[in-house]
Structure formats: C-alpha cells, structure tokens
Amino acid sequence: MKSQVVLLKCDTYDREKIYEELLWGIGQLGGIGRFVRPEEKILLKPNLLRKAEADSAIVTHPAVVAAMAKILKEAGFIHVSYGDSAGVGPMDKIAGACGLAAAMEELEIPMADFNECVHVNYPEGKMAKQFHLAKAVTETDALINICKMKTHQLERMTGAVKNMYGCIQGLHKAKGHTKFSNAESFARMLVDLNRCIRPRLYIMDGITAMEGNGPASGTPVHMGVILIAADPVALDSVCCGLMNLAPELVPTNVQGEKMGLGVWQEKNIDVITREGSLTISQAQERFGKKDYDVNRGREVRRIWRQIRWISRHFQRKPYIVESKCIRCGICVEACPVEGKAIHLHRPAAPVYDYKKCIACFCCQEMCPKKAIRVK
C-alpha cells in the first residue's frame, strides 16, 4: 500500500478553521482512535527552537498545537501534555513568548518537564545505539509530532523527521552534532531516533513557512498548507515537492527509506486533498512555490570529499554579517566543538576557525539577529 499524506489548504491561523481542517484530515487517515487510545499519556511535540513570536515562522504556531489539543480533549483524552527541548533558553519562556503557553493553559493542558535526562539504550539502531532523552518523552505512551515547514542549512529542510531531535535533552543535542558531524550520519541518527520513539502521528504547520536562511534566520513565506501523515518520510517528501526541492536531495528522506522508517519516492505516496488524490507533482503544481528559496545544489561526490584539500573548497561554511552582529556571544555558546570553532573578542565580531568547524550550523540556528549566513 502507498503511504498516505493529507494535504489541507488553510490560509489562516484561525484556531477554529485549523481545528476543522485537522479533524477532516485525521478522519481521512482513519480517525484519532487509529493512532491513540483515551487511557494513554499523550505528548504533543511542537518545534520550539528558540524564543520568537508566533508569526516569525521559527516555531510551530500555537494555533496548530492548540487545535490538535482540542481534538484530543473533545474525544475524551485527558492525559495530554506538550513540550520540547529548545536550542537556547528555557521552554516556559519560549512557549510564553509565542503564545503557546496561554493557549494550552486555556485548554488545561500542562507543560511537560524536559529538564531531566534519561539514558535510553537502543540496540536496534543502525547509526545510534543510545539516546539521552528528556524524561517526559520516556514517560509518555504516545507522541504526536507537530513540526514546522522550514529550510535547514545542514539537511536542506527540517520537517517531521528532524523535529524529533528536540526529544534529545539539553546539552546532549550539541554533543550529537559533534558525534554525527555530517548531513548523512546526522540523518541516519535522526531516523534511528524516530524509530526508537515511534511517534504515532506527524503534523506539519506550513501555513506560514520559512525559506532562505532557515531554520531561524530565514524569511517567512505564506504557503497556506497543513500536512498530516503516519509516515514522516512521505510527509517530508511531499513538503519537498511543495518547496520544489527534489526529495532525494534530503538525507533524512533517502536514509529514512533505506532504514525502514518510510518512503520518499513519488510512486509510493498518495497525497489526499479535499479535491481528491494527487501525486506529489500534481500537489506541487496546485499548492507549491516553484521559486521557494532552498538549497537545491548537488552534493560533492564522495570521491572528491575524500581528498581533503579539494573538499575544503566545496564545503558550505557559516560566516558573520558584521553589520547585523551585536556581539552577544550566543553563537560561541551554541558551538558544540570542544575548544570552540568560533571565538569572540569584543568589540570585534566573532571569528571562525574553519579548521575546527564541523559545519553543523548550530551557530547560525541560534543567532537572534540573523547575522550568520551560509555560503
């Protein structure tokens, strides 16, 4: 059978409109009862990358999370919580800034504690055999992943598969970038993480997406869609179609299929809309953005990467836009490399040591002023 991805056209963050669309879309996949049971502890996992306003496209919009929470509450689910391990800053401040905390308080849904860490062995892992997960993740029965449609400098796009990295607790996320220091190994780790936690359902907020210098310094762009699926690889591949990005260029798609998480090829995916079933190509024509600003360049062939003096000329690197930099030092704090690959000596702007830089782009992700770009 083909993997099914529901594509909902939704041009507004009106909570009632989103609620109606989600209810219809989940119904097309068999209804909420197919994925979770009323007696289970359910964790809603949005993307709360860092402190930002809801309309910035940096975080999952609270209206989408709240609409999903309302569906669960009305269906009689009482053990529901929400949470994420942010890249920088405490989760309560981030949820408060974007309006998520207020929306969930209105629904009487508590914030889960992501501060404690639990070491989890995963012997079935093909790349990662263990994870340091937030305790709240280990104590839940069912996780619903509510991600954001955005570009990403390491994996090209971040969606359903990548959003699960927020289940890794605190500083262990930075350590993961040093251990899995290229796009392919990082993608394989992410696939293992999804296989370990096994989210029941994936929902993508693509009403306002992010293009360009994502996942935090890009440009908000109206896409007017919500995607729902049980297969995260298929969902991300449909997202790629809407971005006019070949799905096979995204490592989490290719590795996700190889490792049994889902499928990325168009022939194996059925896109369900209110107007009927579509292929990814047809969905792209109707709902996509052909000039979506995303990295479509082919990767340097592995044979050239092995010749280090040549590969350095092809590697994408972060750099500082000095006119935007406020010398806050967050980029230095975000660097996971031992001894740091970026240094700040005020009043000068930060300086990179590219011999140490592993091109994980954590610095670019965390910059609050969009002062770090990639070239």
- Average pLDDT in the 11-34 region? 98
| Residues 245 and 322 occupy one common structural domain | no
Q: Is the residue at 295 inside a domain? A: no
Of 216, 217, 240, 206, the closest CA to residue 64 belongs to 206
Q: Is the residue at 297 inside a domain? A: no
Residue 28, SS3?
helix
- Hey, what amino acid is at 2? K
Q: What is the pLDDT of residue 237?
A: 98
Last residue of a domain, one of 252, 287, 322: 287
Q: What is the pLDDT of residue 312?
A: 56
Q: Tell how strand 142-152 and strand 318-320 pair up.
A: unpaired
Q: Is the residue at 294 inside a domain? A: no
Q: What is the pLDDT of residue 174?
A: 86
Largest CA distance in the chain: 61
Q: Tell how strand 201-211 and strand 156-158 pair up.
A: unpaired
CB 71 within 8 A of CB 23: yes
- Give the count of beta carbons closer than 10 Å to the beta carbon of residue 2: 14
Q: Which residue has the tokens 């969905």?
A: 283
Residue 188, pLDDT > 90, answer yes
| Residues 260 and 177 occupy one common structural domain | yes
Provide the residue range defining the domain that includes 250.
3-287
Alpha helix positions (H), 202-307: 232-242, 251-258, 280-287, 302-305
Of 356, 365, 358, the closest CA to residue 334 belongs to 365
Q: Is the residue at 127 inside a domain? A: yes
Strand ranges (E), the chain: 3-9, 42-46, 80-82, 117-121, 130-134, 142-152, 156-158, 201-211, 219-229, 269-273, 276-278, 318-320, 342-343, 351-352, 372-374
Q: Residue 6: CB partners within 8 Å, gap ≥ 6? A: 25, 26, 28, 29, 227, 228, 229, 271, 272, 273
| Pairwise pLDDT comparison (273 vs 313), residue with the higher score | 273
How many separate domains does the chain show?
Answer: 2
CATH code at position 23: 3.40.50.11440
| Residues 246 and 321 occupy one common structural domain | no
pLDDT band, residue 88 (cuts 50/70/90): confident
Q: pLDDT tens, 263-298?
A: 999 999 999 999 999 999 999 999 999 999 999 998
- Taking the C-alpha atoms of residue 217 and residue 176, their distance in angstroms, rounded to an integer, is 22
Q: How far is CA 282 from CA 14, 276, 285, in A?
A: 27, 11, 5
Q: Is the residue at 68 inside a domain? A: yes
| Pairwise pLDDT comparison (365 vs 311), residue with the higher score | 365
pTM for the full predicted model: 0.94
Last residue of a domain, one of 255, 287, 319: 287
- Taking the C-alpha atoms of residue 127 and residue 215, their distance in angstroms, rounded to an integer, is 24
CB 117 within 8 A of CB 124: no
| Residues 19 and 111 occupy one common structural domain | yes
Instruction: Give percent helix, percent strand, percent coil of the chain, each to the nearest 5.
Output: 35, 20, 40
Q: What is the pLDDT of residue 5?
A: 99
Residue 13, pLDDT > 60, answer yes
Share of the chain above pLDDT 70, in %: 96
CATH code at position 363: 3.30.70.20
Of 227, 238, 242, 225, the closest CA to residue 289 belongs to 242
Q: What is the pLDDT of residue 307?
A: 57
DSSP 235: H
Q: Is the residue at 246 inside a domain? A: yes
Of 137, 95, 87, 93, the closest CA to residue 114 belongs to 137
CB 359 within 8 A of CB 315: yes
Q: Is the residue at 292 inside a domain? A: no
Q: Which residue has the tokens 């293992």?
A: 192
The partner residues of 221 in beta bridges, in order of sequence, read 209
